[in-house]
Structure 1
């Protein structure tokens, strides 16, 4: 995306003809300024995506990681299926945890209806450290039918790509398979060490539509509210 070829965001915002009933002139002025910022945000998101796509080749995967799925054992290569790109979301449901992490569960639940669309282009699986029987039971309890879940029973994958200490932590990793070689492409690296003051750790853009929706409301995300497993 060539920034020099784009109209200024303020010009695009001024040309916006949307109006809502009974709005004041003060509201419209503020909304126009906000719209310009929203246009800049959209452009910045695309610039970041371009930089991500242009990353040099990541590290070669040299281990033959094995997982246990609903249909039996599978290697990392098997998880690609017929795709060249594989996304693995590691969720917090280790053997010591009585129930899955509410945040991970909420996050994963939003994708139930979108996974068939996503998997038209890339493979997408979910991995946790608990035995596969526990993962299957939790999946059925949520009524999920689209999630492809796997157990990292040995912890080899988790220690290499999620937490070196095998902590019960979330992780989002993207791998590619080109010319017979599997490489790591990108991982979410934003966490507590990169959070701004007074802000929960979060990635950008935020993959969870829960927070994106709340960001459009006057209540916002809040500072002490988090989703639960049940209400």
Structure 2
């Protein structure tokens, strides 16, 4: 048996213990059996996200500072006016990999997965990547790698140590009540493999996707699915849905 390769040729599958080739009816039956397990996994993910929404909050007491494209900013500024904030600690900095020519290859793969942040913005959520690379180096790398839709900030203090990301990558979730900021969630290790997708980002936040089907605490903001979806080039919802 052969399959197409990336350069247009073929490569042999001989030596691989591949599954059997079966008639369409048998294939459909196998898929339906697997689909039952896939749906169970989806429900388990929903239940885990619901439990995250009930995690206790941790008040952020320090005034953290970052260097951004326009100068020095605080943690509140990273919210960009939104209620929630997701911060990924990337290792784009001296001493890691081939910096400054390239950043950490794992963090680079994470950055490659990031959907347009306008979709998070539609759920009142901001995204930021932070590292210890200089703004000049980060600006060059953003342009080279096509990461210009991701806001990048330079760490200047103990933010990474205080939130468990000084020696390893990780994704922290925060929420604010006016000027008060709270840590509400944390993902690291292989959990970061799932990040980048808008849905998975929202699932680690305190408010979740904010859709009416979710199991959330009383009073949490919720709207019907689809109603908040936007086109990222202008962040407008579909007017046809508004007419329904």
Band of TM-score, shorter chain: 0.5 to 0.7
Structure 2 CA distance for aligned equivalents of residues 116 and 208 of structure 1? 13
1:97-130 Cα offsets, whole Å, 9 max, x none, are 322111211221222x522222222011110011
2:159 aligns with: 157
1:120 aligns with: 122
More strand by share: 2
Q: Does 1:87 align with 2:86?
A: yes
| Structure 1: runs of 5+ lacking an equivalent | 1-21, 192-201, 210-231
Superposition map of 1:59-98 within 5 A? 59-97=58-96, 98=99
Q: Kindly indicate whether the alpha-carbon contact (under 8 Å) linking 1:95 and 1:131 is maintained by their aligned counterparts in 2.
A: no
Structure 2 CA distance for aligned equivalents of residues 205 and 178 of structure 1? 30
Please state how far the C-alpha of 1:147 moved relative to its aligned partner: 1.0
CA RMSD of aligned residues (A): 2.0
- Aligned pair count reads 171
Please state how far the C-alpha of 1:79 moved relative to its aligned partner: 1.0
Q: Does 1:172 align with 2:171?
A: yes
Please state how far the C-alpha of 1:162 moved relative to its aligned partner: 3.0
1:183 aligns with: 182
So what's the TM-score if we normalise by structure 2?
Answer: 0.64
Q: Kindly indicate whether the alpha-carbon contact (under 8 Å) linking 1:94 and 1:128 is maintained by their aligned counterparts in 2.
A: yes
Structure 1 CA distance for aligned equivalents of residues 137 and 130 of structure 2? 12
Quickly say closer, same or farther: Cα 1:205–1:91, change in 2 above 3 A.
closer
Q: Does 1:133 align with 2:136?
A: yes
| Structure 2: runs of 5+ lacking an equivalent | 1-21, 198-244
SS at match of 1:95: coil
Quickly say closer, same or farther: Cα 1:150–1:185, change in 2 above 3 A.
same
Q: Does 1:35 align with 2:23?
A: no
2:106 aligns with: 103
Quickly say closer, same or farther: Cα 1:77–1:208, change in 2 above 3 A.
closer
